[in-house]
Amino acid sequence: MRQTFSFGSGRSAPPPRDVVIILAALFVTFSLRFFATTRLIPALLELTPWVWARGWLWQLASYPFVGSSAGGLWFLIELLILFWFLRDVYAYLGRSAFWRLLAWSCLPAAMVAVALDWLMALSGASSPLAFQLMQGQRMLLAVAIAAFACTFRDATIYLFFVLPVQARWFIAIEILLAFMGFLSTKDLAGFAGIVTAVGLAWGMLSGGVLRNLRRLRLRALQLFYRARLAVGRRRRGLRVVRGSGRGGAGGGSDGRGGSGPHRGPWVN
């Protein structure tokens, strides 16, 4: 059963167990960074250039669940916002579709980011802050916000807890925020990963990626043919002459009140 939920509504129903497990994994791995004996664990699980340098392929799947290093208070705020979004998305999609969304958005995003980082390393332009923008809860936030924007388009969210914004605009807003982060970190691989994940989440929840690409192609062709027709009209001096329509003064196509297509007096 699919129901509509309000963002941060504080429903009395218990939070989904899967969402609680994700938040617990983020918190535990974040805490392990601050101890000398355990800091190696999140270092092995987060996304690093060692994926292509040493073949550590498990990082492609583990990185979204490793809490990214940030200020303690801001990290807790990120977890709270992530809980609000994931709870409603999980309730709308269900367990299987929820995990399918995470898998088919986070994994390809990591592959795109790693491939781009490898190409940048070959050209000598790699960033020391590679993958920072898409580590841990930041990638999950990007996917959860995109999914919420697709499934609850008309919901109103208070941006920064002050400015009311409809959820449909949050995809563009999070891309803009990711770009601002790219400007400060020069993390092109991380920015590409965020854009890829958001695009895949939007594609999966709005009719499928291939279907949306086909739709964009048809719209582009439509605009092209309209522009081409307009240019042809201007060059040849053509103009559209509108008839009186059905049931007009001419009395239909045969002048006797029929319902066929209207033929004006200019047609031989």
Q: How far is CA 195 from CA 74, 201, 214, 222, 237, in A?
A: 23, 10, 20, 26, 46
Return the pLDDT at 160.
67
| Higher pLDDT pick, 102 / 257 | 102
Query: Is 156 in a helix, a strand, or coil?
Result: strand
| The pLDDT of residue 213 | 64
Segment 88-129, tens digit of pLDDT: 999 999 899 999 999 999 999 999 999 999 999 888 877 788
d(C-alpha 190, C-alpha 167), whole Å: 24
Would the pTM of this model clear 0.85, i.e. be above it? no
Section 147-153 average pLDDT: 87
* Residue 101 pLDDT: 93
Q: How far apart are CA 28 and CA 42, in angstroms?
A: 9
Segments in 33-128 forming alpha helices (H): 40-45, 50-53, 59-62, 72-93, 95-122
| 158: DSSP letter | E
Confidence of residue 238 (pLDDT cuts 50, 70, 90): low
What pLDDT does 47 receive? 92
Q: Does position 214 have pLDDT exceeding 80, yes or no?
A: no
Local structure of 163: helix, strand or coil: strand
Residue 68 in this model has a pLDDT that exceeds 80 = yes
- For 17-208, the fitting CATH number among 1.20.1540.10, 3.40.50.300, 3.40.50.1110, 1.10.150.120 is 1.20.1540.10
Looking at the chain, the whole-number percentage of residues with pLDDT higher than 70 is 77
Is the separation of the CB atoms in 191 and 184 below 8 Å? no
Element (H, E) at 220: helix 209-236
Question: What are the pLDDT digits (tens) for 17-50?
Answer: 999 999 999 999 999 999 999 999 999 999 999 9
C-alpha count within 13 angstroms, C-beta hemisphere, residue 232: 7
Instruction: Look at the chain and count its residues.
Output: 268
Residue 259: helix, strand or coil by DSSP?
coil
Q: In what helix (H) or strand (E) does residue 164 lie, and over which residues does it extend?
A: strand 163-166
Q: What does the pLDDT average to over 242-250?
A: 52
CA 108 to chain centre: 13
